[in-house]
Structure 1
């Protein structure tokens, strides 16, 4: 795929509209028109093509870096840097850029991606010894910390009161494709990109006659079969019938093929259009949160909600990992963690405020309930919650706080999960922040420090 894309590129042009069909659309645009001189244009094009050939980072990440880098050159023009190449870039310049970003009206995540884009191109050029790049380090490693501000990441778990409103709204929804996709999302937790790739014939039956859904993931280049509810089976069959004419007209197997009234043609539904439909759905049906505000519903929240419910109902970490198509166990473990400012402050003082013990029993933890049923109710992906053991109930008012909660207990048998978690975090911090919905680098560093502390103490046992 990437080889064909590279062949289609004319490096002499400053704007590439590349054919890349996905649930994001049919094309992706790489714009180099904002770059100030021939050196920047030629060099950044070369690096982009090199990365296409290597396949790393992903096509989508490179596209994000391409348009995010524009902010650096806006800064470049405003302060009159007049750099001929990146070789003239200094640590003072990058610090000035941090200050510039701090004063822009944008989210922390956006600032971090912009900084990541600049660092990627500069560090790539330095590492592979391109001409025109700094010979000394111009980043001090504190950029992300400086860009973070006090913001709170709220869990994506959908409260029961909101879910009831959604179910009532679905019974009155006239948009067949939207209704079917929401039902599929609620009951399966598949990603939006996966839902928009479902094809005719994706529902089959296992040997007992129960429905099974075939899911293909572009995100991690994998496929899986998952058992589903009869509602999902009905939703898929509804889509197959409803979109039959559209699919036949354009020779497509995608279940989300539909008539586009403005363009006056049939085409696939893309993520941008679906998100627009979802916003209209929430407003039209007056779906509100506990404060009476319009609920900020996103499709991925169905995934978080289902994953959390699976944990609460006693499914094992491995079962949930397979069902949701996670690359690693700690992605699944993320359904039992969320940020809380008070506990986070206490945690940062100590490194880890939970309990590390060789095993879960009365001798190591004291009085409590250690029967099989209670231990199953207290099980977490990377440890145990002490609430059921102490007869404090199963429902935690501080949902998703485990790794920074005093009631969190972990043992040496969970060591490999913690190590895998830390490895994935360090391998690609930007991707980790995006996949785990982490809004600040401060939060990221808190998690990293927690894992380092846990691993060190577990290995010492």
Structure 2
């Protein structure tokens, strides 16, 4: 990190090389010096420790302008975050919900998350001049109307068939075809596709092609099986690039990785006559032009103007689940960091898949399974581990993995470390009975913040009881 804390403008280089410009953090819109320094503390600390992706952090910095705009509009003089009140926070939520500048529920929620994260930072580390009491409401996303579903839609078969035919018959440049075809087959993020390097495809021991990609979102490399057809297309693009590079006039802009698979020739501007990386904006334009050139329309005859690269990703995830792929395989393929992201795709598949997701937290409900699935691979359950991992209605596998610390309070039923047995049936039945008698009392007793979560617990308990009874 090479920024000076005292400056009101910080400039950083994005980790994602497909972005054309640097990130510029602007702190000039804070009238109070104390408030400005509190915001700077948060961003300086996060940039230094790299706990949040740089793209998210930069988004937060930009969206905090909505908070200072809120202060200006209502003539609120806020010297430090310590002066925040619960009423003020609720006013800000109302302000964001009514905002015409932030057009989607997601953008409104992000603006609030930026504000909340900055304040939470000071509270968590017990800094001076921060609120010492809880001022934020629970489940803010729902206040903005943000549903826990993917923002893009699955591409329906009618449109998908047109895209497939167009890719087969397209006569435009090889780069556009390979770019869209890669998204269509792999479901990779656009940023991952644009950073693919030459020789990114290798064959496994059986001769099947494997595509290697690196995600700047979660800073991990992963390998994805692809078809021979996509492999041939990528090889054709590599050959095309090699031919371009053999020409005397070929020249890269300084700093451009010379082995990028997707490159762009600049006909005008400061890079005129030179090749650069393909930026995401340019790639999106190629996709929209592809839709128009091949007259790709929906069933009502309208151009599919809302087609995104992420639509292919959503479609691939949903198709894999529909065709019976294991959820953890889908998670690995898409590069999700948690099963939570993958489970969103199940919401558009048949009800059977949703039922399978309801059971994910408690796969393996026999004592034999506890032995076989211990990450240590031990064949004997040690008594001390049983004691350490004991729960009122089962066991926690963390004790068998040398980890006795858990951050998922009150979430055992939805955790893949949880195991329960036939002998625990009476406990589950009692718990379900108490829950059904008075859900609010149950929520208070178990320190649960909302009744929707209680309903999820009820569904989980019913499923557990049914499965355990089948084992009797």
TM-score w.r.t. the length of structure 1 is 0.72
Aligned pairs for 1:260-279 (under 5 A) are: 260-263=266-269, 264=272, 265-279=274-288
Match 1:188 to one of 186, 189, 202: 186
From the superposition, tell whether residues 458 and 53 of structure 1 become closer, same or farther in structure 2 (CA, over 3 Å).
farther
**Aligned residue runs from structure 1 range 60-459, under 5 A:** 60-105=55-100, 106-141=103-138, 143-148=140-145, 156-170=153-167, 171-244=169-242, 245=244, 249=252, 250-263=256-269, 264=272, 265-295=274-304, 296-338=306-348, 399=349, 410=359, 412-413=362-363, 451-458=456-463
- Alpha-carbon offset, residue 63 of structure 1: 0.9
Please name the residue that 1:395 is paired with. none
Question: Counterpart of 1:337 in 2: which secondary structure?
Answer: helix
Any unmatched runs of 5+ in structure 1? 339-398, 425-444
CA distance in 2, matches of 1:24, 1:452: 43
Tell me, yes or no, if the aligned pair for 1:330 and 1:421 is still in contact at 8 Å: no
Please report how far the alpha carbon of residue 403 of structure 1 lies from its aligned counterpart in structure 2 after TM superposition.
7.1
Contact 2:413–2:460, Cα closer than 8 Å, also in 1: no
Distance 1:410 1:421 in 2: 9
Partners in 2 of 1:154 and 1:32 — Cα distance?
31
Q: Decide whether the 8 Å contact of 1:32 with 1:41 is kept in 2.
A: yes
Moved more, 119-128 or 208-217: 208-217
SS at match of 1:223: strand
2:363 is paired with a residue whose SS is helix
Would the alpha carbon gap of residues 273 and 400 (structure 1) be closer, same or farther in structure 2, given more than 3 Å must change? farther
Which SS does the other structure have where 2:283 is aligned?
A: helix
SS at structure 1 position matched to 2:59 = helix
State TM-score, norm by structure 2.
0.70
Partners of 2:290 and 2:80 in 1: CA distance: 49
Q: How many pairs are equivalent?
A: 374
* Alpha-carbon spacing, 1:64–1:142, altered in 2? closer, same or farther (3 Å): same
Whether contact under 8 Å (1:183, 1:231) holds in the other structure is no
Instruction: Name the residue aligned to 1:52.
Output: 47
Q: 1:17 to 1:422 in 2, by over 3 A?
A: farther
| More relative contact order, 1 or 2 (CA 8 Å, 6+ apart) | 1
Distance 1:318 1:42, change over 3 A: closer
CA RMSD, aligned part only?
3.3
Deviations 1:283-302 (A, max 9, x none): 33322222222222111222
